[in-house]
A and B are shown apart, each in its own frame.
Chain A
Amino acid sequence: MKYHYYPGCSLEGTAREYDLSTRAVMTSMGAQLMEIEDWACCGAGAAETISYLLSLALPARNLAIAEKQEDGRDILVPCSACYLNLKKVEEKTRREPELLDTLNSILAEDHLQLNRSVHVRHLLDILANDLGADAFRPKVKNVFQNFRIAPYYGCQCLRPYAVFDDPETPYTMEPLIEATGAQIHPWNLGGKCCGASHMNTDMDVNLELVTAILRGAKGADAIVTVCPMCQMNLEAYQQKISRRCNEDLHMTVLYLPQLIGLALGLSKQDLGLNLNLSITKRFRATLHF
């Protein structure tokens, strides 16, 4: 199993543990990740608020570079915002051939050309469908018995393109979590919005959304995420939120491959568990393996 790998900017900075744990889990399952050479920013949530063309040209550049590399047809993308930006180029150029020409006229400035020969895949899609819970189950060394995990999908791996999951009632994480021995926390907030970058521009509005999610997760031992933006919003403001609503809303928040990696017996260091901003003392105490 070979994949092109597009980590994206967050995974080099605030989401380093997502990069570490993605690589660790994929490698331990026998997959090979080939990082796209000289990859650059996909435009994140920023380009689309400034320029439509730029919001497609930036991800298109990364796809064009991946195409030049040999082997591998699929690009593995762990960040949901990067995933959607790259996916948009794949979907839109399929429907609008003239858009492909425009993008290629831009890429030509960088001596690149997009031929639409690579396929954009989210990490969750690959974990759930290429590997699958059945592949993980026999390799589980540490069983998360009596753990209750709240699967949080966020928005952009689910919508607008319903590629690998139900965009209204997502479920792909459930068999993966159950393979670790944990139970699923019953809730309907898994596909709701974390507020994204409103935390930087409209913090009060954003805190409302995060408060509802943290409240809904009460009773779970941890929330697992598949997006650096969701992870940051859910983990970084818990103290502020708890103080604001006079309610203890502290909650462990892990990236999905961190949970899977722990179950597979990978080391906490390899999974970057020291980098998370919110792992409760109680949760740490229960991780005695």
Chain B
Amino acid sequence: MDQLAAKEANTAKLPPPDVLAPVQEMVRACIQCGTCSASCPNEFAMDHTPRKLWRMVLMGLKDQIFQSKTFSLCSNCYYCTLRCPRGLPLTEAMDALKQIAAREHLAKYRQSTLFYKNFLRSVRRHGRVNEMEFMAFYFAALRNPFFPLRFAPLGARLMLKRKVSVAVPLTARRPLEAIFRKVETLEDRP
């Protein structure tokens, strides 16, 4: 049983086969010029360049794409979208890959997925994000007791300035509940 669980954790569940189709549609006209790679501020930290990633998308190399950190390192600066000579929505294509990774709960992207999901969890509860609550959700979900230490000095400074407060509103008014629900229905998500 333990072995099975370990195996499952190692081989992160891969998305179903047609999941790349909408992303392929977005980058179909890519001419592999590399303007995106040359414009990307985070390219230095990526295992595959953006140019290569688009080729991998068109070739349907799902396993490699969802083993790569490239799309999760996109910081949405929109330089590639602005400069792409084919006018492709490259930043949105990066987002589309992030959405697949989040939907499929891929272990490799656990940290950034948990960050954004917990942000939205706080938004769903209160309508506006409560920065302290959301970071607490995020740290709790990561289950790494040392990780929050990186943010402790900043948290303390922000509290001293009364920019964040540990007092989270007790009653969740949920003004966005209807919108969240309807989106889930339309996207056929539970």
Contact = CB atoms under 8 A, between A and B. Distances in A.
Interface of A: 9-10, 12-14, 16, 38-41, 43-55, 57-58, 61, 102, 105-107, 109-110, 155-156, 158-160, 162, 167-168, 192-193, 195-198, 200-203, 205-206, 208-209, 236-237, 274-275, 277
Interface of B: 41-42, 44-45, 72-73, 75-79, 81-82, 91, 95-96, 98-99, 102, 111-113, 115-117, 119-120, 123, 127-131, 138, 150-151, 154, 157-158, 161, 163-164, 175-176, 178-183, 186-187, 189
Contacts of A236: 154, 157
A38 B126 CA distance: 11
Contact of A109 (B78, B111, B178): B178
A157 B179 CA distance: 27
A13 B131 contact: yes
Contacts of A167: 82
Contacts of B81: 159-160
A41 B82 contact: no
Nearest to B131: A13
A37 to B, nearest CB: 11
Nearest to B129: A9
A13 B95 CA distance: 27
B164 to A, nearest CB: 6
A208 B42 CA distance: 9
Given A49-B116, A193-B79, 12 more contacts: A9-B128, A13-B131, A46-B117, A46-B123, A49-B98, A55-B95, A61-B179, A106-B183, A155-B79, A193-B42, A202-B112, A205-B42
Given A41-B129, A205-B42, A47 B76 contact: no
B164 A193 contact: no
B95 A46 contact: no
Contacts of A54: 120, 179-180, 183
Given A41-B127, A52-B96, A160-B91, A205 B78 contact: no
B38 to A, nearest CB: 13
A275 B163 CA distance: 8
Contacts of A275: 161, 163
9 contacts: A16-B163, A40-B176, A41-B123, A47-B116, A49-B102, A57-B182, A155-B76, A205-B42, A208-B44
Contacts of B117: 46, 50
Most A-side CB within 10 Å, residue of B41, B112, B181? B41
Contacts of B113: 49
B183 A53 contact: yes
Nearest to A168: B82
Nearest to B189: A51
Given A14-B164, A205-B73, A50 B157 contact: no
A155 B131 contact: no
A153 to B, nearest CB: 11
Contacts of A202: 45, 72-73, 112
Top-3 shortest CB links A-B: A159-B78, A193-B77, A109-B178
A38 B76 contact: no
A160 B120 contact: no
